[in-house]
Chain A
Amino acid sequence: MRIVVCLKGVGDPQAARYDFVRREVVDLSPIVNPLDLVALEEGLRLRERHGGEVTALTCGLPSAAWVLRRALTTGVDKGVLVETEAEEFFTVASVLAAAVRRIGCDLLLCGARSADTAQEIVGTATAELLGLPLVTRAVRIETTAGKQTLRVYKKIPKGKREVYEVELPAVISLEEGANVPRYVAILSKTYVRGIERPVERMSLKELGMTGARLHSGVHTLRITAPKPRVQVGVSVTGLSPAQKLQLLMGGGQKRGEEKEILSGSPERAARRLVERLREWLTDASPPSSA
Chain B
Amino acid sequence: MATEVWGFVEGVELAGKMATEVVRLAHLTSALPCVVLENGRERGQEGEMGTYGVEKVYTLAPVGHTPEEHTQALETLLSSYQPYACLFAASALGAEVAARLAVRLRRGLVTGCLDFALEEGRLVARRSIYGGKAQATVTWQSESPHLATVDMGIMEAIPASRVAQIQMVKWEAISSGSPPRVRHVETVRLPREEVDLGEVRGVIGVGGGVKEVGEMRLIYDLAALLDLPVGGSRVADERGLIPRARRIGMSGTSLAADVYIAVGISGATYHLMGVKNVKHIVAINTDSGAPILEVAELGIIADFREVIPAVIDRLHAKP
Q: A157 at interface (Cβ–Cβ under 8 A)?
A: yes
Given A117-B129, A128-B100, verify A218-B110 contact (CB < 8 Å): yes
Question: A280 and B280: CB pair below 8 A?
Answer: yes
Please measure, in the bound complex, the distance between the C-alpha atom of A16 and the C-alpha atom of B134, giving whole angstroms.
9
Question: A262 and B300: CB pair below 8 A?
Answer: yes
Residue ID in chain B nearest A153 by CB atoms: B188
Q: B168 at interface (Cβ–Cβ under 8 A)?
A: no
Q: Which residues of B contact A260 (CB under 8 A)?
A: 297-299
Q: Which residues of A contact B104 (CB under 8 A)?
A: 128
Given A218-B141, A287-B189, A288-B189, verify A167-B181 contact (CB < 8 Å): yes
Residue ID in chain B nearest A93 by CB atoms: B103
Question: A125 and B102: CB pair below 8 A?
Answer: yes
Please measure, in the bound complex, the distance between the C-alpha atom of A280 and the C-alpha atom of B228, giving whole angstroms.
13
Give the size category of A's interface with B: 35 or more
Which of A25, A151, A163, A218 neighbours the largest number of chain B CB atoms within 10 Å of its CB? A218
Shortest 9 CB-CB contacts between residues of A and residues of B: A217-B108, A217-B142, A270-B310, A124-B99, A13-B131, A133-B181, A159-B195, A263-B301, A266-B306
Q: How far is the CB of A256 from chain B (nearest CB, A)?
A: 6
Q: How far is the CB of A259 from chain B (nearest CB, A)?
A: 6
Q: How far is the CB of B294 from chain A (nearest CB, A)?
A: 8
Q: How far is the CB of B191 from chain A (nearest CB, A)?
A: 5
Q: How far is the CB of A27 from chain B (nearest CB, A)?
A: 10
Q: A135 at interface (Cβ–Cβ under 8 A)?
A: yes
Q: B136 at interface (Cβ–Cβ under 8 A)?
A: yes
Q: A232 at interface (Cβ–Cβ under 8 A)?
A: yes
Q: Which residues of A contact B96 (CB under 8 A)?
A: 124, 134, 136
Question: A120 and B111: CB pair below 8 A?
Answer: yes
Given A90-B103, A166-B182, A288-B189, verify A281-B259 contact (CB < 8 Å): yes
Given contacts A156-B92, A159-B195, 5 further A-B contacts (CB under 8 A): A158-B199, A158-B200, A231-B156, A269-B302, A274-B314
Q: Which residues of A contact B136 (CB under 8 A)?
A: 117, 220, 222-224
Q: B112 at interface (Cβ–Cβ under 8 A)?
A: yes
Please measure, in the bound complex, the distance between the C-alpha atom of A11 and the C-alpha atom of B185, giving whole angstroms.
38
Q: Which residues of B contact A18 (CB under 8 A)?
A: 133-134
Query: Which residues of B from 279 to 318 have beta carbons under 8 Å from A?
Result: 279-282, 288, 293, 295-303, 306-307, 309-311, 313-315
Question: B307 and A134: CB pair below 8 A?
Answer: no
Q: How far is the CB of B66 from chain A (nearest CB, A)?
A: 8
Question: B129 and A116: CB pair below 8 A?
Answer: yes
Please measure, in the bound complex, the distance between the C-alpha atom of A121 and the C-alpha atom of B88, giving whole angstroms.
14
Q: B3 at interface (Cβ–Cβ under 8 A)?
A: no
- A interface list, Cβ under 8 A from B: 11, 13-14, 16-18, 25, 89-90, 93, 115-121, 124-125, 128-129, 133-137, 151, 154-167, 170, 177, 215-233, 256, 258-264, 266-267, 269-274, 276-277, 280-281, 283-290
Q: Which residues of B contact A120 (CB under 8 A)?
A: 90, 95, 99, 111-112
Please measure, in the bound complex, the distance between the C-alpha atom of A216 and the C-alpha atom of B185, giving whole angstroms.
34
Please measure, in the bound complex, the distance between the C-alpha atom of A36 and the C-alpha atom of B187, giving whole angstroms.
26
Given A25-B129, A158-B201, verify A164-B140 contact (CB < 8 Å): no
Question: B188 and A218: CB pair below 8 A?
Answer: no
Question: B191 and A287: CB pair below 8 A?
Answer: yes
- B interface list, Cβ under 8 A from A: 24, 66-68, 90-92, 95-96, 99-100, 102-104, 106-112, 114-115, 119, 124, 126, 128-142, 154, 156, 158, 180-192, 195-196, 199-202, 226-228, 258-259, 279-282, 288, 293, 295-303, 306-307, 309-311, 313-315
Given A120-B99, A227-B135, verify A256-B297 contact (CB < 8 Å): yes
Please measure, in the bound complex, the distance between the C-alpha atom of A263 and the C-alpha atom of B90, giving whole angstroms.
42
Q: Which residues of B contact A17 (CB under 8 A)?
A: 133
Residue ID in chain B nearest A12 by CB atoms: B130
Please measure, in the bound complex, the distance between the C-alpha atom of A231 and the C-alpha atom of B297, giving whole angstroms.
21
Residue ID in chain A nearest B142 by CB atoms: A217
Given A217-B106, A281-B226, A283-B201, verify A226-B189 contact (CB < 8 Å): no
Question: B103 and A218: CB pair below 8 A?
Answer: no
Given A158-B199, A160-B189, verify A262-B298 contact (CB < 8 Å): yes
Question: A121 and B99: CB pair below 8 A?
Answer: yes
Question: B130 and A116: CB pair below 8 A?
Answer: yes
Contact among B67, B130, B189 with A16 in the assembled complex (CB-CB below 8 Å): B130
Please measure, in the bound complex, the distance between the C-alpha atom of A48 and the C-alpha atom of B302, giving whole angstroms.
56
Which of B154, B282, B298 neighbours the largest number of chain A CB atoms within 10 Å of its CB? B298
Q: Which residues of B contact A288 (CB under 8 A)?
A: 186, 188-189, 191
Given A118-B112, A233-B158, verify A271-B314 contact (CB < 8 Å): yes
Q: How far is the CB of B238 from chain A (nearest CB, A)?
A: 24
Q: How far is the CB of A119 from chain B (nearest CB, A)?
A: 5
Q: How far is the CB of B197 from chain A (nearest CB, A)?
A: 10
Residue ID in chain B nearest A122 by CB atoms: B99
Q: Which residues of B contact A156 (CB under 8 A)?
A: 91-92, 187
Q: Which residues of A contact B134 (CB under 8 A)?
A: 16, 18, 25, 223-226
Which of A151, A269, A283 neighbours the largest number of chain B CB atoms within 10 Å of its CB? A269
